[in-house]
Structure 1
């Protein structure tokens, strides 16, 4: 286990903002303040080799190993008076797809009956672009992974279910408190032209073009802190399209640093320890690449940027967590609805056009194909951002709009590139989720929401509830996924975010209308119209890439054999490298386990000091001939590593001719750290 390292905050964070009423007292801490809270962490890492990665839509970006394992962090909150509960789950994924959530609910129902249902489970993604894809049930999102990947899908579902089950088992009286501040050097607006189209009154809320609000929800038991959730808007894209190692990116590092390096959590232990979830909010136009180039800012090293941006989020959250806070009171309540976003009538009080408008079938604009150049979004160089950037597509769109006035009213001025909604490649029906946790209200949206779009959503819900907008947060990337959510003004710019706002110019007003309805129902204590059911498409999946057929070591070699030994001696700060004769890692994902261990000799035995879930290690796979695998394990010796004798071990699994998988192990020679 690492020794806790409690570094003082170094990030500029403004003083906490006012939160609710009253102050946190010793009595609040002791009496539990009306909540039971449980916490859980579980591994959701998918296939680490030869699977197209999710996020940048680049066919050439395929997994080749692990830097940080992906995790699911669950908090279950129960109102002790009413018995109402909600599970808030933050997952190190690019997106949450409805098929994943459906499978999680089915598994929870088998275990807990009706304890966790559609209303009481909100799953939100951190939006890392450094994980395997292939876990959607809609074609558009499985293209770069060459179809559906059952093993990755199953690992995600099993890990989310495990994290919720652990949190359920962990339930105990707790105090929940909240603090807000501002973090100003972990994001930059990557779509400034579109942002500037918004009215001055909206832009005034964000003088620098970003939403700098960082919000911390802290959980205490008998005066002892046991967990927290932080919401802050920045894209989880410090790692670029060049990266092929699985990682939670900057938010994953923030959570890892607090849990593992500061609190000393052992991820493979039964007890959850301290749980730190770094969740997303309205991050649609917020980039962590501060120089507005992929992998650039604050340094030119994408791995170091991941650490720095993650550390800044940690330090901001830790400062708020340790400072003045206000208790959350008021219990738990939720409202859920499914909305057919392909053809929704939006009333004039929300459109501002003086008439009823309609959303449209999911349609991608030409600027979508340009990608987000600031974050390296896998765009095609023949396409550009902006309304006039793609004249050929624009000419075709004008003909379409003349032939179909309804399409023009719903989608113009978008240059129509592709209509995945008509092909069934994207969802039509989308889930909306409103959660009240004390005085905090979460607006669960299946989109990447820009700062001003989030502001309008928060104001709409706050007005309907009669609360301050500060008491409303957008929980983006929640429960499903269907591209971006921009304001109508930003949509008119048709930069990447507008081109990826698929349901047309009136998409945000549609969400304002529907969330106003849910908020009114919540306030009145009446049930909400549930809307159409989300279709189950689990039986329609296509796989284009086969599983591993056979593993065979090179002639004269054996599985687990070391082909590159470490040096005899290392100093802190140096990198240890060891290579093994291996097997394909997709044979066994080692969920909840590890492919590697760095061990230090203690007496007559060995103590593990790092595994493949640690920042200091890297696990790399490469093909060696036709059926063999080369495994490279590296370990950056930490500055505070204890002197002594060490070794590196590798745990592999080989598929034989019969299809049987056999586990094997390898170990390096002993080396010294001094």
Structure 2
């Protein structure tokens, strides 16, 4: 028997016209609040250890959110808090607040860093954790799984050509994109007196039912699923139920149809219909979870027994040598500094189109010309550097070298502001000296595996595609095989920070949006597999015998630069300048 408590708190952010996080669109601004956004938390205690699992109605977790929460909890809970055993997840709604990270790039549309957003999120998160701890009671925990029937229109693979490149998959046609994903929902149910009280669901599908032309904060499909489930439990007499609908392998999975006439079909869902569509998708998820957890106890559910444990390590993904077993027969495989390809700027075909096609064609031409120039002249000072970069990044048409802060080899800030309001904002920040020492994106990110009895949960900080996630799970399962009583290995994504996408090596060669946004090159997944394998081995050892890096952390951001990127009352000026551009 475990002691378990739960709580949820509203994230109190007033919509003031800041851009939302997710689509990267300058015009996608929040002027209204359609649904409340919540921080939901569970505290699970065995005889010795406490595991805290939280999920927020946000696009992602940032290092700013995690580090501030850890600092607050260390202060409040003192020795009772172990940051290894804190999991922060995001639903990945694209209709949540932006400006919540210390790094510069993904905050450009907001524009800039918004301290009051970060403070409101941390406040709700810490309060929900404190309340969860205060409400701990004897609780039984059961694990279950349930598959969506093939005919339930809940999810489609949005990158089918890339998916079909994987040797282990059954190739799917354009008419079968709904089958090119993991249709299994994984569930952790919490019971008192044999009655379901609260639960956690893991299922990968983008929270992009709501498009980028709307102007309100909203929880999207995952938020609606949680609200519907909590309401259903309240109607059954459960007091203060909390249900988390978190993400699994959602990287290449869309809630919109992908196949013949996909754009035409998507464009018929507009305005109010988009909210109805999000609700319907959430209802599918809610109904599947409740059916699985309420009709099968204890027949198809597995009781959780055993200890709580966790390992967490920050790794620098920009400089990892890939062990032979993950290098597909290639020697000297390495990751590189983070780079964004032209496919990143093109966006996704249905969920969120990026820059206009003509601009993308121009970017592709310039990226190819730049590559030829850099790899032709062997006497050039930076020849060896670019040889290594292109070896790591493979076929990616690199536009932005986010690590060295260059666009086509030139320092950021050179493109004319008239091209785009986002470029105008970037130039403004460069001129203000706001990103000289600050990173554009994170490179040092947390990888975590937590143990709850016979379940191991791999917590990943990015958007893993279906097969990329499957390979990580298989890698970790191999470590536990015959070595422990861990029977199940599940994966949660959008955990603890945000590092863009992770595709398989084969998918990466396609250079669809997901490959263009796999920042550390074609060996990114291999690096994650290698590091998660190491972590899994450590989890098998007694705590006092473990040796792994627990000291590495991202470098602190210069406060003077952060202040220059913060928009204290500068929003109207920045937005109007951008719109006038």
TM-score bucket (shorter structure): 0.7 to 0.9
- From 444, 460, 483, give the equivalent of 1:429: 444
Distance 1:251 1:489, change over 3 A: same
CA distance in structure 2 between the aligned counterparts of 1:531 and 1:198, rounded to whole angstroms:
36
Structure 1 pair 113–453 and aligned structure 2 pair: CA distance change class (3 A):
same
- 1:590-609 to structure 2, matched below 5 A, reads none
2:50 maps to 85
Once the 2 structures are TM-superposed, how far is the Cα of residue 208 of structure 1 from its aligned partner? 1.8
Task: Give the alignment's TM-score, normalised by structure 1.
Answer: 0.72
Q: Does 1:287 align with 2:254?
A: yes
SS of the residue aligned with 1:114?
helix
**8 A contact 1:92–1:125 mirrored in 2:** yes
Partner of 1:112: 77
| Greater percentage in strand | 1
Contact 2:342 2:364 in 1 (8 A): yes
Which residue in 1 is equivalent to 2:154?
Answer: 186
TM-score between both structures, scaled by the size of structure 2? 0.83
CA-based RMSD = 2.7
2:549 equivalent to 1:529: yes
C-alpha spacing 1:547/1:295, structure 2 compared with 1 (3 Å): farther
Of 238, 253, 256, which residue of structure 1 is paired with 2:227? Answer: 256
Q: What stretches of structure 1 of length at least 5 have no aligned partner?
A: 1-31, 551-622, 624-674
- Which residue pairs with 1:457 in the alignment? 472
After TM superposition, give the deviation of residue 389 of structure 1 in Å. Answer: 9.2
Structure 2 distance, partners of 1:108, 1:265, is: 34
Deviation at 1:298, TM superposition (A): 10
Tell me the equivalent position of 2:106: 141
Q: In the aligned structure 1, how far is the partner of 2:19 from the partner of 2:449?
A: 33
Which runs of structure 2 are paired with 1:44-443 in the superposition (5 Å)? 44-80=11-47, 83-183=48-148, 184=150, 185-201=153-169, 208-260=179-231, 263=234, 273-291=240-258, 292-293=262-263, 296=266, 301-322=273-294, 323=296, 324-382=300-358, 390-402=364-376, 403=383, 404-423=386-405, 424-443=439-458
Give the length in aligned residue pairs: 510
SS of match in other structure, 1:256: helix
Distance (whole Å) between structure 1 residues aligned to residue 263 and residue 91 of structure 2: 21
Q: Which protein shows a greater Rg?
A: 1
Partner secondary structure for residue 266 of structure 2:
coil
Please give the residue correspondences for 1:562-573 in structure 2 after superposition, counting only pairs within 5 Å: none
Structure-2 change in CA distance of 1:514 and 1:236 (3 Å): same
Quickly say closer, same or farther: Cα 1:116–1:399, change in 2 above 3 A: farther
Q: Find the residue that maps to 2:80 and give its secondary structure.
A: coil
Q: Name whichever structure is richer in helix by fraction.
A: 2
Partners of 1:265 and 1:93 lie apart in 2 by: 29
| 1:452 and 1:487 in contact (8 A); partners too | yes
Secondary structure (helix, strand or coil) at the match of 2:215 reads coil
Cα offset for 1:384?
5.3
Distance 1:238 1:549, change over 3 A: closer
Q: Distance in 1 between matches of 2:443 and 2:331?
A: 24
* Structure 1 residue 471 displacement after superposition: 1.6
Superposed CA offset, 1:265-289 (max 9, x none): 99xxxx9711110000110000001
